[in-house]
Amino acid sequence: MRMSSLSLPALTLLLAGLAACSDATPGAAAPASGADAAAPAPSAVPLENPPVTEKLTLTDEQWKARLSTEQYNVLRRHGTEPPFCGGYTAIKHNGPGTYYCVACGAPLFSSDTKFESGTGWPSFFKPLPGRVDSQIDTSYGMERTEVHCARCGGHLGHSFDDGPAPTGMRYCINAITLTFVPASTAAKP
Ligand SMILES: [Zn+2]
């Protein structure tokens, strides 16, 4: 397991709350998962470019029907996927394009703002304008800034102030919450 090479205290703390990694355990019994390949199965949710102010509110049952078990646990239950999971490897090698919310199909991040943080989670220094909201998260004895999709409220990850220029921010995002569309086929958000 590549997780064993991680020794950062923060990661160790985080690992306590982690679910199984669907990337690393392709033979595991996960009947609701379509993400047992290197990249997650394409989302059935249509990718849209709705107004920034538009909200999508569904019931818990509707979210369960729409999302895989792993996606639901992260997006609706504030879970954290293990590092190097959820399609991370595929995301690392993506070229120009746009990352959409796998839950509601709204655009979240441009590949122009993606960087390699070395954490094992996709990292960006800036979201698309108005697409990501945040709030203070005090779980696991830490004070962190939780970030979520502004449209559907789905939990994406956390933001930290140790990122690169020009913003100095690091949006640390669970790979399983993202759907990538290459620039050649994506509508410009
Ligand atoms: Zn969303």
Structural domains of the chain ordered from first start:
58-189 (2.170.150.20)
Residue 35 has pLDDT above 50, yes or no: no
More confident residue, 60 or 140: 60
Of the listed ranges 9-18, 112-121, 155-164, the one predicted with least confidence: 9-18
Could you give the CA distance from residue 189 to residue 187 in angstroms, rounded to a whole number? 6
* Ligand 1 geometric centre to CA of 171 (Å): 16
Could you give the CA distance from residue 2 to residue 125 in angstroms, rounded to a whole number? 25
* Ligand 1 geometric centre to CA of 128 (Å): 13
- Structure tokens that stand for 123 in this block: 């990292």
Could you give the CA distance from residue 99 to residue 149 in angstroms, rounded to a whole number? 12
- In this structure, the chain runs to a length of 189
- To the query of whether residue 172 is one of the catalytic residues in this protein, the response is yes
* Ligand 1 geometric centre to CA of 51 (Å): 13
* For range 94-115, the mean pLDDT: 97
More confident residue, 2 or 132: 132
Contacts of 139-146 with CB under 8 Å at 24 or more apart are 139/17, 139/78, 140/13, 140/14, 140/16, 140/17, 141/13, 142/10, 142/13, 146/78
First-to-last C-alpha distance (Å) of the chain: 38
* Ligand 1 geometric centre to CA of 132 (Å): 9
* Ligand 1 geometric centre to CA of 103 (Å): 5
On average, the pLDDT of the chain sits at: 83
- Structure tokens that stand for 7 in this block: 């020794």
Give the pLDDT confidence score for residue 18 in this predicted structure: 53
Give the pLDDT confidence score for residue 11 in this predicted structure: 46
Parallel, antiparallel, or unpaired for β 144-149 and 155-160?
Answer: antiparallel
Give the pLDDT confidence score for residue 49 in this predicted structure: 87
Residue 14 has pLDDT above 60, yes or no: no
Could you give the CA distance from residue 172 to residue 114 in angstroms, rounded to a whole number? 10
Q: Quickly list H helices, 30-172.
A: 60-66, 69-75, 88-92
* Ligand 1 geometric centre to CA of 46 (Å): 11
Three-state secondary-structure class, residue 108 = strand
- Select which of 21, 101, 149, 172 is catalytic: 172
- Please name the helix (run of DSSP H) or strand (run of DSSP E) that holds residue 151, with its range, or none: none
